[in-house]
Structure 1
Amino acid sequence: MAAEPLLRALMRMRTLILDPDVLVRAVASGRQKGQHPRWKRVELRYVDLKAGRHLQVTAYDETQAHTSNYALGEPGQPSPAREAVDDLLDEPFAHWHVETTTEQHQVRVTKKLEAMVHTTARAEEVEVERGHDRDKSRMLAEDDPVLISLGISTAEGRVKPSRQAKYRQVEEFLRLLDASITEARSKGHLRKASQDDPLRVVDLGCGNAYLTFAAQRYLTHVRGLPVHVTGVDVKQQSAEHNSRVASELGIDASFVVGSIAEASLPEPPDVVLALHACDTATDEALARAVEWQASLVLAAPCCHHDVAAQLRRTPTPAPYAMLTRHGILRERFADTLTDALRASILRLHGYRVDVVEFVESEHTPRNTLLRAVRTGAVVKGGGVRKEYDDLVSTWGIRPRLAELLD
């Protein structure tokens, strides 16, 4: 895959995006070196409204999504849709992912402002959904068989009122998973899978396997990737139930009974997921990911009792007494400190780490997610190591993740 002029690659993507008969969706994300696009991420698709077919653009900033619909215009006349696309192509995004009914295109902008383009053909032509009821750019439609089987949606294909929070959680996780896999693949940090050797995804502490099934369904049905998912949970009952659901849905998934720390997999996974593993179970999940040298890790921690307990037992260093004087502030500080140390430790073991918002705080107070991509650049000294050593020394704590990896 050779580099080509960026403008030429973008003009090819422009032609596909502006063709309402072939575009499934397009996604722009990331930023070119030293540049800052107006939006963190933008998604484009066509919808059929009462006024006719429009280009729908959903742009995401730091806190919310902004959706606009643009008319296509008559041939030879000014086109709001064309103007909107041209404006977005001018933004310094680092990645474009363009899906058509027959192909998927990945465009990565290099540091030299050239384009690396990877195109794959779909196994079969897909049908495009133009319904306006998807104006929230859903990753899985409400009537998806997986959501119905899991009890998130009714048999009529509507999300149950009591399961709205769970649906929102699944959607946001899939959005992060989608963007993370796209970026990791475009930079060569995630291997190219095949039907003979599919991408291996493990969900640690899977429970009822909401994420396991949703991830498999999205990656295979929407992204068209060959994927095998494995769920790990300590309960035999969960494994039996999940295996039965997988069989009924025809999903390529397997389930292992065991703890996160001791579960045995036939092959190391490429992608490790861990959603709301309690306290040090998150550390166990991160330690296993490092042990397996997983290419991509997405972990949403739950409670942080371990460091909080250590803070209660050790004197607070000056001049930070106010941070731990009140119980609620001490607990919140422990949350932040724990995840900061986890991110630092992963960096020391060869991962590039982002700490991002998982879902909005009104849906769950546990809304932090650690996203780590393995670059292989292990840090043995320097500023990162000194920052970590100084932090644990100042506060007199010993992170559980450090103990597990040592």
Structure 2
Amino acid sequence: MQIPSTARTAKPSKGTGKPAPAAQVIEELRPGQSIELLKELHILTREGKLNQDTRRKLKQVYHLYQFIEPLLNEVSANNPAPTLADHGAGKSYLGFILYDLFFNVAHQGRKDAGHIYGIETRTELVDKSRALAARLGFERMSFLNLSVQQATASADLPERIDIVTALHACDTATDDAIAFGLAKQARHMVLVPCCQAEVAGVLRKSRALNLAKTPLAELWRHPLHTREFGSQITNVLRCLQLEASGYQVTVTELVGWEHSMKNELILASRPATPSAAKTRAAQARLQEVLQTLGLDELTARFAVTPVTPPDAAVSA
């Protein structure tokens, strides 16, 4: 789905007889969006236009926003000031777009419309994001120069976070974001894993032993299969971990495969009353998978943390 943009021919400039520069009317943009922000994020060119590459970026941004907007709406129904923490924020593309579209446009700049925290370990990116937020007047954005583990205990973040995002968080960084979400009793988690290597390393190390134990080890006997199967099973284990912690999990595509091979989107939401039976079943299955594949040493990595709000009992 690609919506074409249109350009209007400008009228001649007064006193010169020459046409003024053409003003492009970009139909893809939502009313009220910050043009300066889109230029800073290189979604619009410096001239305020879209080209093929930037149009693709905008399409991806909107596609992801369609997943997160309903979560923000659901949280906002009970909490007028929802909180969102974005791990491995990088240049904070996601945080800025969410703030602009949801807090500024959808809620018309309400002062109590929530807060976004960008968590990033690279100091120079944190400094740039802080400067851009100040320039745009995005007052309810904070950028923290912290690791995920540091953020879990930091006094700069509230005790609870409503939504946790981690896009293209490499290898175990996704697991760290999940641990943060569990510790903060997040209502929703939105995860796009990337470059999983830890499980593949364990599979590779125990390959000979597993080949002698089970024909299933043929799934990862060859190095290429080890890498691909390791990546796949990593996300399967993450989903089971989340389900065993009381979350309902959906796995889907982020964007079409033509854009990125790192394409898996994991959406996890915690119901008000998680089912004890379902969490026990997921926990048992998680342990079975770890044992069957010879991944017992990763039990601590995929530890289960049942999440039960203090005002809600777990249903049977």
TM-score range relative to shorter protein: 0.7 to 0.9
Aligned pair in 2 of structure 1 residues 192, 241: CA closer, same or farther (>3 Å)? same
- Aligned counterpart, 2:41: 150
Instruction: Give runs of aligned pairs for residues 246-395 of structure 1, distance below 5 A.
Output: 246-251=133-138, 252-263=140-151, 264=154, 265-267=156-158, 268-314=160-206, 315-316=210-211, 318-375=214-271, 376-377=273-274, 379=276, 382-395=280-293
CA contact 1:358–1:369 (8 Å) conserved in 2: yes
Higher relative contact order (CA 8 A, sep 6+): 2
**TM-score normalised to the size of structure 1?**
0.60
Higher helix share: 2
Structure 1: which 5+ residue stretches go unaligned? 1-64, 68-130
Deviation at 1:350, TM superposition (A): 1.4
Instruction: Give runs of aligned pairs for residues 3-402 of structure 1, distance below 5 A.
Output: 133-134=27-28, 144-182=35-73, 185=74, 192-194=78-80, 198-224=81-107, 226-251=113-138, 252-263=140-151, 264=154, 265-267=156-158, 268-314=160-206, 315-316=210-211, 318-375=214-271, 376-377=273-274, 379=276, 382-397=280-295, 398=298, 401-402=301-302
- Aligned counterpart, 1:100: none
Q: How many residues align?
A: 268
Structure 2: distance between partners of 1:387 and 1:191: 35
What amino acid sits opposite 1:175 in the alignment? Q
Structure 2: distance between partners of 1:140 and 1:204: 28
Aligned pair in 2 of structure 1 residues 133, 163: CA closer, same or farther (>3 Å)? closer
Structure 2: distance between partners of 1:154 and 1:66: 18
Deviation at 1:227, TM superposition (A): 2.4
Structure 1: distance between partners of 2:204 and 2:30: 43
Aligned pair in 2 of structure 1 residues 377, 190: CA closer, same or farther (>3 Å)? farther
CA contact 1:152–1:159 (8 Å) conserved in 2: yes
Deviation at 1:169, TM superposition (A): 3.0
- SS of residue matched to 2:148: coil
Structure 2: distance between partners of 1:404 and 1:169: 32
CA contact 1:284–1:401 (8 Å) conserved in 2: no
- SS of residue matched to 2:214: coil
Deviation at 1:382, TM superposition (A): 4.1
Structure 2: which 5+ residue stretches go unaligned? 4-24, 307-316
- SS of residue matched to 1:256: strand
CA offsets 1:5-44 (integer angstroms, 9 cap, x no match): xxxxxxxxxxxxxxxxxxxxxxxxxxxxxxxxxxxxxxxx
What amino acid sits opposite 1:192 in the alignment? N
Structure 2: distance between partners of 1:143 and 1:246: 12
CA offsets 1:314-371 (integer angstroms, 9 cap, x no match): 2245222331122222222112111111011111111111111111111111000111
What amino acid sits opposite 1:359 in the alignment? V
What amino acid sits opposite 2:218 in the alignment? M
Structure 1: distance between partners of 2:300 and 2:260: 25
CA contact 2:250–2:268 (8 Å) conserved in 1: yes
Higher strand share: 1
Structure 2: distance between partners of 1:223 and 1:250: 16
CA contact 1:287–1:404 (8 Å) conserved in 2: no
CA contact 2:249–2:267 (8 Å) conserved in 1: yes
Structure 2: distance between partners of 1:152 and 1:360: 19
